[in-house]
Chains A and B, each alone.
Chain A
Amino acid sequence: AQSVAQPEDQVNVAEGNPLTVKCTYSVSGNPYLFWYVQYPNRGLQFLLKYITGDNLVKGSYGFEAEFNKSQTSFHLKKPSALVSDSALYFCAVSPLLNQAGTALIFGKGTTLSVSS
């Protein structure tokens, strides 16, 4: 079955330190990969995506993600965390040319808490 795993329910970092939010996937084919962020009582905001090309993808608010095909991972990173980065982060995949459509498969989410 196709799935996305975010192994950490919560990640705690101090402001100014680098952060990593982990994501691994199990999808046949070559999927498109996405990261979204959700703030309380708000919808999901798109951060970045990987389709093809350079394994390091840069996105909004200084976030970047590294695609690793051999490890089927797509970890979200930021060199220096801000308190305002505290939110719920979702990794998602969309199987390429899947006859079933382009529905996104989401992980359960990781809560990022940045302390001052």
Chain B
Amino acid sequence: DTGVSQNPRHKITKRGQNVTFRCDPISEHNRLYWYRQTLGQGPEFLTYFQNEAQLEKSRLLSDRFSAERPKGSFSTLEIQRTEQGDSAMYLCASSLEGLRVTDTQYFGPGTRLTVL
């Protein structure tokens, strides 16, 4: 169990550029979540996947944001036409869902995005 990994750890981009982040969950975890954390706030839910199916998207996930989990393993989060307000820490988490509705979500180290 190597934990949840995220790449890159830091990303600096100019306004209007597109960025893509990657998350590798704990192996065999079937659920994968994306959260956004801004300074002084707790993480806010963006979206989650059950295997390769995207089951829920928050209203925070504007049409500039898209997430995929093509083979039910790693996931990517893309932000198009970045804005300064997109600057935040983007956190990925994974969990193993079985008979219980909710199990523990384990978080990766995050990708810090700075939009200039």
Which chain A residues border B4 with CB–CB below 8 Å? 43
Cβ-based interface call for B45 (8 A): yes
Cα distance, A4 to B41, chains bound together (Å): 12
Is the Cβ of A36 less than 8 Å from the Cβ of B41? no
A103 and B42 form a contact (CB under 8 A): no
A96: interface (CB < 8 Å): yes
A residues less than 8 Å from B6 (CB atoms): 43
Size range of the chain B interface in the assembly: 20 to 34
- Asked if A32 and B102 sit within 8 Å, CB to CB, the answer is yes
Task: Judge whether B91 and A101 touch: CB under 8 Å.
Answer: no
Taken residue by residue from 23 to 42, chain B's Cβ proximity to chain A (1 for < 8 Å, 0 otherwise) reads as 00000000101010000111
Query: What 1/0 flags go to A74-116 for Cβ under 8 Å of B?
Result: 0000000000000000101010110011111111110000000
Interface residues on A, range: 20 to 34
Task: From B43, B48, B56, give the contact of A106 (CB < 8 A).
Answer: B43
Q: Is B102 within 8 A of A109, CB to CB?
A: no
Q: Which residues of A contact B42 (CB under 8 A)?
A: 4, 90, 92, 106-109
Residues A101 and B41 in contact, CB atoms below 8 Å apart: no
How far apart are the CA atoms of A109 and B42 in the complex, in Å? 6
Chain B residues within 8 Å of A105, by CB: 45
Partner of B45, one of A4, A49, A96, A103: A103
* B65 interface contact, C-beta 8 A: no
Once the chains bind, are A96 and B101 in contact (CB under 8 Å)?
A: yes
A45 within 8 A of B: yes
Q: How far is the CA of A26 from the CA of B95 in the complex (A)?
A: 24
Chain A neighbourhood of B56, CB < 8 A: 100-101, 103
Interchain CA distance A49-B95 in the complex, whole Å? 14
Known: A96-B101, A103-B58. 8 other contacts (CB 8 A): A32-B102, A43-B4, A44-B91, A44-B93, A90-B42, A106-B44, A108-B40, A109-B42
Closest 8 CB pairs of A and B: A106-B42, A103-B45, A101-B56, A43-B107, A44-B107, A43-B109, A102-B102, A94-B102
